[in-house]
Chain A
Amino acid sequence: MSNNEILQVTDVCKTFGGVQALLNVSFSVQQGEVFGIIGPNGSGKTTLINCITGFIKMNSGKVLYNGKDISNKAPNHIANLGLTRTFQIMRPYYSLPAYKNLIIPLFSPRARRKGGWRGGGKLGDRGTVSIDILEEIGFERDSFVPYKLASSLPTGYLKRLELARCLALKPDLILCDEVFSGLSMSEIASMVPLIEKLQMDGITLVMIEHRLRELFRVASRVMVLNFGEKLIEGIPEEVMANEKVREAYLGSEKVLDYTFEA
């Protein structure tokens, strides 16, 4: 195995009562790549992210991050190692203005260590740093948007705010849980370059997506989950040509064939 694997997940299992949410899922992510995870609804994608980031405890399995065992560690501990995640259902601080939302991650031990002057950049002003991050992620600096309450922001901005919270932690790896979902086509079109820019900045990305076309534009490798099990992993074209993947997404082909013959 090459030694530039940033994330190595081995045989993760998780059951909720009698439901097998994840069964022996293994994959590894290379430093600097964009890795896609796709699968039908309820196939365990979000559960997998929750397990990796420590938000739920897995029954068995192992997660190595930069060669370090982080299985079932506390979420805040994992985030401080530079492994951050976004939430599918956005979790901003609704009562705070957008830029103050970022002061909370900037207050974390990792941001304080890495961000210069206790997370506040060169001037020791966390407000300035958070406005910088928001601009980078697509909030117009000179508009009122960064100063508006998060509760008054539309979905597109909230999705960006989720990403911004990760960036404030100066991450090495971001697990994106459906950042494109709920966005209009034009909003997605403006998000894609953002993802590409993050990758150029050397951040590794793991993306859960239903928007396959946009995902395949950025992702170099894709893994397919179905009913908690890994179906296949490979480059996007190979994966989508695979029979089992088509079955998982569209139902069995045989039924279709039958109707054609009839």
Chain B
Amino acid sequence: MNTQERRKERIDRGIKVRTEGIYAVSSWQEVTYLVLPRLILIVGLLLLPLIIPPLLGPYWKRVISYAAIYGLLALGFDFLAHFVGLVSLGGAFFIGVGGYTAALLNKSLGLSPLFTIPIATVGGAIICTLLLLPALPLRGVYFAIVTLMYPLALMRIIEALNIFGGTDGILGVAGFPNTWIEQYLIIFIVIFALFGLRRLVNEDIGLVFRGVKDNDQSVRASGLSITLYKAIAVFIASGLGCLGGAYLAHIYMWSGISQFALDFSVIPIAATVIGGGGTLVGPLLGCFFLVPISEWLRTFGTLRIVFYSVILMAFIMFRSEGVMVYAQRKYHQFQRWVKV
């Protein structure tokens, strides 16, 4: 007996159903609700170089660039930690590799920053990914330890073998033509990285990354190699870090072993705690808050670490979810009293 019959059915396209809830284009109020937070962020970042240095002095031009570089690291950290499930302390590693690659390309081949920064970004990311490849099956704190070990090891190797200028570093790296380009280029890069990463984690490949974090065995059962996707994620995050490092080398016009300093590993994590992990924008804003604070506290000399710690502790104890998680909740939801 043939139990199979055919009938024709008409069904809504999946995309039609999924876009049904979108009314945004129908009124200015809704457009504003969606666009305003993003607009404030973008305009705010773009206005920083115009507002801050005239108020606080020319030194603060540099601080804006630093904050943006730390922002790139924090974006990479947040992406790896909250969307791929790899806790990376490799900020210093990425900055160092990117910085040395850019400096070496500039000094030995005479390439201009226009070329060294992209090459150092991609090349540095390849180097970092290859070096971290053996550690990719590790999870949690074990991966963190390996990423922390690399900058320390590389620092000592450069010192001991006296390569790449040894403790003096590589001097005389080309700088940027002027400080406006220096500040705005990195701000544009940061904005692009932020919105790019946000788009990426909601794309299909981003869902795979999030799957690796949620349930790696399930990803393997789905026919995808977790090592491959972890490697791609590490490539993206280390690319951001190497870009920052290369940029830093050209700002300093120097590259040395202090680029493997642990500040680059620790501040992005602190910024993620303050800004709110998993939001991507939070860690970025955290950097634009923490880096200037840390510069401003320099006037207190060695006491600045104490103030710094107090600020961090206060955030961890009273707003451990982070500012952006809190802000997003307040923006999208409201509370009211109801009689029960």
A residues with CB within 8 A of B: 53, 55, 74-76, 79-80, 84-85, 87, 91-96, 99-101, 103-111, 123, 125-132, 141, 147, 165, 168-169, 200
Which residues from chain B contact A87 at a C-beta distance below 8 Å?
Answer: 217-218, 221
Query: Would you give 30 A-B contacts (Cβ < 8 Å), ordered by A?
Result: A53-B221, A55-B221, A74-B220, A74-B225, A75-B217, A75-B221, A76-B220, A76-B222, A76-B224, A87-B217, A91-B218, A91-B221, A92-B215, A95-B213, A96-B207, A103-B204, A103-B207, A104-B208, A104-B219, A104-B222, A107-B204, A107-B224, A109-B223, A125-B13, A125-B14, A128-B14, A129-B14, A130-B14, A141-B11, A200-B4
Which residues from chain A contact B214 at a C-beta distance below 8 Å?
Answer: 92-96
Minimum Cβ distance to chain A for residue B209 (Å): 10
* Chain B interfacial residues counted at CB < 8 A: 27
By the criterion CB–CB under 8 Å, are B221 and A95 in contact? Answer: no
* A85 to chain B: closest residue by CB: B221
One digit per residue, 1 when the CB lies within 8 angstroms of any chain A CB and 0 when it does not, for chain B 210-238 equals 11011101111111111000000000000
B residues with CB within 8 A of A: 3-4, 11, 13-15, 17-18, 204-205, 207-208, 210-211, 213-215, 217-226
* B218 to chain A: closest residue by CB: A91
Minimum Cβ distance to chain A for residue B240 (Å): 23
By the criterion CB–CB under 8 Å, are A93 and B210 in contact? Answer: yes
By the criterion CB–CB under 8 Å, are B204 and A126 in contact? Answer: yes
* A108 to chain B: closest residue by CB: B223
Which residues from chain A contact B211 at a C-beta distance below 8 Å?
Answer: 93, 96, 101, 104
* B203 to chain A: closest residue by CB: A103
Complex: how many Å from CA A178 to CA B224?
Answer: 23
- Selected contact of A84 from candidates B14, B205, B221, CB within 8 Å: B221
What total of A-B pairs shows CB separation below 8 Å? 104
- Selected contact of A125 from candidates B15, B210, B220, B223, CB within 8 Å: B15
Interface centre among B15, B204, B207, B222 (most CB of A within 10 A): B222
* A contact patch SS: helix
Complex: how many Å from CA A228 to CA B340?
Answer: 57
By the criterion CB–CB under 8 Å, are B223 and A76 in contact? Answer: yes
Interface centre among A75, A130, A147 (most CB of B within 10 A): A75
Complex: how many Å from CA A123 to CA B17?
Answer: 15
By the criterion CB–CB under 8 Å, are B210 and A76 in contact? Answer: no
Given contacts A96-B211, A105-B222, contact A91 B217 (CB under 8 A): yes
Which residues from chain A contact B204 at a C-beta distance below 8 Å?
Answer: 103, 106-107, 126
By the criterion CB–CB under 8 Å, are B218 and A96 in contact? Answer: no
Complex: how many Å from CA A79 to CA B220?
Answer: 8
Complex: how many Å from CA A110 to CA B211?
Answer: 18
Which residues from chain A contact B220 at a C-beta distance below 8 Å?
Answer: 55, 74-76, 79
By the criterion CB–CB under 8 Å, are A123 and B208 in contact? Answer: no
Complex: how many Å from CA A196 to CA B171?
Answer: 73
Complex: how many Å from CA A101 to CA B205?
Answer: 12
Complex: how many Å from CA A91 to CA B218?
Answer: 6
By the criterion CB–CB under 8 Å, are A108 and B15 in contact? Answer: no
- Selected contact of B223 from candidates A92, A95, A105, A141, CB within 8 Å: A105
